[in-house]
């Protein structure tokens, strides 16, 4: 078995790393306190997006035939890992591809929503989390009821990213009267649809706000339904699996950068006449971080590679997300400890990384939910 990345993937990795080093790293420490790349001035953000478009990487996983980069999941993970080595990188790659639209939409729906999104002309958002059903997608309570005029949606969503700037939202609802996996459907709701409203801003630990959404007798026409009623479960879960691997790739990038910072600081900082790097306690922190990062990277790459081949990767995805996100937390924590007070201050990016990695153990399936997935698969 060859564990080396394919040559094309290594070239892609080098291209993205140059972009990160040349364009993103210089911006990093100029960001406002508790900020990320979503807070970059619009001219700078637009310039970065233009560079990404010129590189052909604006819509990573969108097929080439519709204007995307056409990357497989492994290559997408490599790009995401590299970009997230820099705290100015989150948000540079905005949502430009909606797999559920690609899988379920009619040609007319693709022309109206998918293709403009891939070109960067429209911004979309996905809404499946609810106050009583965040990790449990099958437990959503938002309903859709058929009428002579179309579908009436009732319910509310929470923790929705990009809702404030979205031109449309993909809402996961269930046909009224169905339970659990039955009747789950995706509906496209445009921002100005009567009965649809954005609620309070939910400010998050990592500086990226999410929002509540409300659907109160929200009427959409038949053309806003994606596929047939009840087709939403399969499309939604496949979207979650790829998202979980991409989150794992983010964790790899952040951990890799923090380990690099810890090594550099340990060599430079002297205590009691000796460099920190000479202390066994510090050496073991660095060694443990390197071991865990290597193991996590192999798990993520393996799951992504298998997914590209069309294998069922439910177990591997759950394992990769659980281990990689928890690993990143430990690596960042050790880097902070090695830096001492400097690691807690805004003089380094470590406190920002600390905030960035903590949510990863929760969204797109908590670590506890992932362990249940793993155990249920084994015990079944």
Question: Which residues are catalytic, by number?
Answer: 364
β-pair partners for 190: 168
What region does 304 belong to: left with phi over 0, alpha with psi -120 to 50, or beta?
Answer: alpha
What region does 196 belong to: left with phi over 0, alpha with psi -120 to 50, or beta?
Answer: beta
The answer to whether the beta carbons of residues 233 and 181 sit under 8 Å apart is yes
Residue 133 per-residue DSSP state: B
Under 8 Å CB-to-CB from 226, ≥6 apart: which residues? 100, 101, 104, 105, 109, 170, 185, 186, 187, 188, 232, 235
The answer to whether the beta carbons of residues 16 and 82 sit under 8 Å apart is yes
**Strands 270-271, 274-275: parallel, antiparallel or unpaired by DSSP?**
antiparallel
Cβ neighbour number for residue 152 with a 10 Å cutoff: 18
**Rounded Cα gap, residues 376 and 370, in angstroms:** 10
The answer to whether the beta carbons of residues 175 and 229 sit under 8 Å apart is yes
Q: Which residue has the tokens 């949510």?
A: 359
Taking CA atoms, 28 is separated from 35, 40, 266, 268, 373, in Å, by 10, 10, 22, 21, 37
The answer to whether the beta carbons of residues 249 and 113 sit under 8 Å apart is no
Element of type H or E holding 219 = strand 210-220
**Rounded Cα gap, residues 370 and 312, in angstroms:** 16
Three-class secondary structure of residue 110 per DSSP: helix
The answer to whether the beta carbons of residues 217 and 195 sit under 8 Å apart is yes
**Strands 150-160, 168-175: parallel, antiparallel or unpaired by DSSP?**
unpaired
Tokens of 297: 């990277």
């Amino acid at each position: 078995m060859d564990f080396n990345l394919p040559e094309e993937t290594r070239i892609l990795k080098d291209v993205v790393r140059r972009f990160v080093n040349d364009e993103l790293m210089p911006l990093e420490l100029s960001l406002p306190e508790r900020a990320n790349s979503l807070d970059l001035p619009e001219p700078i953000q637009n310039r970065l997006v233009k560079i990404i478009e010129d590189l052909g990487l604006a819509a990573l996983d969108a097929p080439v035939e519709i204007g995307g980069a056409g990357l497989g999941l492994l290559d997408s993970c490599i790009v995401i890992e590299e970009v997230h080595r820099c705290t100015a990188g989150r948000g540079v790659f905005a949502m430009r591809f909606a797999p559920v639209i690609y899988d379920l939409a009619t040609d007319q729906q693709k022309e109206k929503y998918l293709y403009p999104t891939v070109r960067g002309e429209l911004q979309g958002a996905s809404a499946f989390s609810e106050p009583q059903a965040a990790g449990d997608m099958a437990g959503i309570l938002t309903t859709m009821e058929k009428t002579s005029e179309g579908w009436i949606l009732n319910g509310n969503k929470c923790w929705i990213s990009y809702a404030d700037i979205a031109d449309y939202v993909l809402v996961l609802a269930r046909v009224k009267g169905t339970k659990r996996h039955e009747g789950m459907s995706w509906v496209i709701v445009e921002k100005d649809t009567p009965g649809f409203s954005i609620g309070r801003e939910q400010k998050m630990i990592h500086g990226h706000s999410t929002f509540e959404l409300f659907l109160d007798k929200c009427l959409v026409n038949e053309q806003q339904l994606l596929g047939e009623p009840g087709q939403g479960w399969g499309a939604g879960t496949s979207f979650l699996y790829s998202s979980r691997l991409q989150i794992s790739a983010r964790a790899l990038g952040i951990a890799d950068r923090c380990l690099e910072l810890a090594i550099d600081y340990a060599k430079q900082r002297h205590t009691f006449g000796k460099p920190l790097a000479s202390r066994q306690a510090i050496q073991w922190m660095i060694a443990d971080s390197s071991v865990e990062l290597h193991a996590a990277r192999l798990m993520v790459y393996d799951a992504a590679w298998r997914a590209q081949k069309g294998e069922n990767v439910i177990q591997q995805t759950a394992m990769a997300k659980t281990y990689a996100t928890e690993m990143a937390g430990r690596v960042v924590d050790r880097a902070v400890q090695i830096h001492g007070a400097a690691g807690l201050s805004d003089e380094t990016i470590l406190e920002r990384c600390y905030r960035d990695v903590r949510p990863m153990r929760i969204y797109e399936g908590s670590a506890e939910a992932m362990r249940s997935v793993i155990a249920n698969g084994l015990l079944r």
